[in-house]
Amino acid sequence: GAGVSQSPRYKVAKRGQDVALRCDPISGHVSLFWYQQALGQGPEFLTYFQNEAQLDKSGLPSDRFFAERPEGSVSTLKIQRTQQEDSAVYLCASSFRRNNGYTFGSGTRLTVV
């Protein structure tokens, strides 16, 4: 597609519920990144894929967070047993080459109640 697409745009989850956030990167983009952005803060790195390989997951805040990109295109970020502190905007970004800037999706705003 023309841009990075994320769905859903908004998600309200009850505490303890599992959620899955989807990211469709730009076609042909090799690198895919997930960021978490709290209100009024900059994006915080979560994890990074190159094709289907997850090269870095050091930013995932707990083992309740899991990301996959099984065929090297679409990626899913899953959060199990959501907590209120998980409320944030989750941004996905992709790039064509290692030395390119990122193109961001519009994000998924997750609210845990």
Partner 1 sequence: GQNIDQPTEMTATEGAIVQINCTYQTSGFNGLFWYQQHAGEAPTFLSYNVLDGLEEKGRFSSFLSRSKGYSYLLLKELQMKDSASYLCAVRDSRDDKIIFGKGTRLHILP
The residues binding partner 1 (CB under 8 A) are 4, 31, 33, 35, 40-45, 48, 55-56, 91, 98-99, 101-107
Contact 57, 32 (CB under 8 A): no
The least distance separating partner 1 from the CB of residue 81, rounded to whole angstroms, comes to 27
Report residue 101: phi and psi, to 5°: -75, 170
3-state secondary structure of 105: coil
Report the residue number, 14 or 99, with the smaller CB distance to partner 1.
99
Quote the least distance from Cβ 82 to partner 1, whole Å.
21
C-alpha span between 105 and 113 (Å, rounded) = 24
Choice between 1 and 101, CB closer to partner 1: 101
